[in-house]
Amino acid sequence: MNDATAKYQVHIHGNAYGLAIGDQAAVFTDQSLQRQFPSPFLAPALPPQGVLGRDEELTSVFDLLALSDEGIRDVAPVALRGMGGIGKTTLAVALGRLDVIPHLFPDGVLWAALGPDPTVRLLLDDWGRSLGVDLLPEPDEAACNRRLRDVLYHRRVLLIVDDVWEVTDGKYFLVAGPQCRTLITTRESPVAYTLATRERTLPVDVLKPEAALALLRSLAREAVATDETTAQRLCERLEYLPLALTLAGRLLAIEADVPSRMQRVLGELVERREARLQLLQQEGRPGLDEDHPVSLQAILGMSVSRLDRVDQERFAMLSVFGSEPLTWEINAAAFVWECSVEQAEASVSTFIQRGLVTRRDDRYWMHALLADYAAELLETLNL
């Protein structure tokens, strides 16, 4: 097969990753590459349940980064963009863990997780140390950026900048040399479109129903086997959000030794929004609490907290639409908010930029769990 026209397709099988060219599997080894500098590998570990239902998205990232043609130089960054918990970080990890990556990037993989309030200088210093460069003498972040650009000019490195909230923070990590590639993840469209352009931003959507149930089954086999109908309803109620499914699956697995309790928890997750919103992520999270568990409600609320008071109130009031899926038109929002259409357009635009709302045809859509959050906020604000 002609290398110039070969079709690359990424396949994910749980924790196993491969790259196929046409009908043939590609296995890469290059023991002859000997470097005089470190080849760091900073990508986090894969989740224990693996990655399910993301073959198409991973292939799209692979194509956007032009990884099938090693001869291309100066490839612009690519951004993964979507609401909190939708799986942007997991998709980035999956890319960094592909078997082909050491061949394509023999000089390593760099990873930085920023969050809403990053210590940029320390993260840049970490990159410098990983590359065998001392950045401590550099006076500021801009100088570190220039030094890293020099260091990476002749190297082939994959750079992944995860969870970027501000353009000014993300820009410091745009240090790729001509043979490098950069992948960014963010909730915020201004960040994605500034650092990677709109055309090079890949929207990350929820899982397909069959993949969502497979994810829940991989974590809570007994719960799905005992009551698959309710398990499917839970997937629907969580609207196929990977983080929520993961946290629910972990909880159900913990309760599996008392089947009656497990089934009661399953029902509560379907019926009670408080149970859904209080699902816990044990690992903590930058911007909230890195050392203690944080709730799904807190994770979703990170984007809402960036709104001003008026838009927080308007966001909360969207829960009155209450249908599944929750969608509305601009005129309806203006009526509920008691404002002009122009003011409603401005608020909806802000919600879209924050990753809280998505346009679908001529209507606007809010994820079911964000609708749960909005309903809780509406009660708190007593509007």
Which residues of the chain fall short of a pLDDT of 70?
A: 1-37, 323-324, 383
**Under a CB-based contact definition with an 8 Å cutoff, are residues 185 and 80 in contact?**
yes
Residues 197 and 233 in one domain: no
Q: Domain for residue 228, yes or no?
A: yes
Q: According to the model, what pLDDT value does residue 362 have?
A: 83
* Amino acid identity, position 86: I
CATH number of 350's domain: 1.10.10.10
Query: pLDDT, tens digit, for every residue of 324-367?
Result: 678 899 999 999 999 999 999 999 999 999 999 999 888 999 99
Q: What is the total count of domains within the chain? A: 3
Residues 28 and 137 in one domain: yes
> How far is 103 from 119, CA to CA, in rounded Å?
32
Q: According to the model, what pLDDT value does residue 317 have?
A: 95
Q: According to the model, what pLDDT value does residue 19 have?
A: 46
Q: Domain for residue 276, yes or no?
A: no
> How far is 189 from 80, CA to CA, in rounded Å?
10
* Amino acid identity, position 251: L
Note the maximum CA span of the chain: 69
Report the predicted TM-score, pTM, of the whole model to 2 decimal places: 0.89
CATH number of 120's domain: 3.40.50.300
Q: Reduce the secondary structure of the chain to three states and give it as a string.
A: CCHHHCCEEEEEEECEEEEEECCEECCCCCCCCCCCCCCCECCCCCCCCCECCCHHHHHHHHHHCCCCCCCCCCCCCEEEECCCCCCHHHHHHHHHCCCCHHHHCCCCEEEEEEECCCCHHHHHHHHHHHCCCCCCCCCCHHHHHHHHHHHHCCCCCEEEEEEECCHHHHHCCCCCCCCCEEEEEECCHHHHHHHCCCCCEEECCCCCHHHHHHHHHHHCHHHHHHCHHHHHHHHHHCCCCHHHHHHHHHHHHHHHHCHHHHHHHHHHHHHCHHHHHCCEECCCECCCECCCCEEHHHHHHHHHCCCCHHHHHHHHHHHHHCCCCEEECHHHHHHHHCCCHHHHHHHHHHHHHCCCCEEECCEEEECHHHHHHHHHHHHHHCC
Among all chains, which residue has been given the structure tokens 């963010």? 186
Q: Domain for residue 221, yes or no?
A: yes
Residues 197 and 48 in one domain: yes
Domain end residue (candidates: 271, 294, 320): 271
Nearest CA among 25, 92, 29, 33 for reference residue 65: 92
Q: According to the model, what pLDDT value does residue 361 have?
A: 83
Residues 78 and 98 in one domain: yes
Q: Domain for residue 278, yes or no?
A: no
Q: Domain for residue 243, yes or no?
A: yes
Q: According to the model, what pLDDT value does residue 382 have?
A: 76
Residues 221 and 191 in one domain: no
Domain end residue (candidates: 186, 203, 220): 203
Q: Domain for residue 291, yes or no?
A: no
Residues 225 and 322 in one domain: no
Domain end residue (candidates: 155, 184, 203): 203
Residues 110 and 242 in one domain: no
Among all chains, which residue has been given the structure tokens 């590639």? 181
Q: According to the model, what pLDDT value does residue 32 have?
A: 35
Q: Domain for residue 46, yes or no?
A: yes
Residues 240 and 260 in one domain: yes
**Under a CB-based contact definition with an 8 Å cutoff, are residues 299 and 85 in contact?**
yes
Residues 183 and 231 in one domain: no
Nearest CA among 115, 204, 225, 221 for reference residue 166: 115
Residues 80 and 216 in one domain: no
Neighbour count for residue 378 (Cβ, 10 Å): 17
Residues 171 and 214 in one domain: no
List the domain range (segments joined by +) for residue 178: 3-203
Q: Domain for residue 299, yes or no?
A: no
Q: According to the model, what pLDDT value does residue 235 have?
A: 98
Measure Cα distances from 333 to 208, 317, 336, 340 in Å. 29, 9, 5, 10
Among all chains, which residue has been given the structure tokens 């209450």? 322
Residues 44 and 186 in one domain: yes
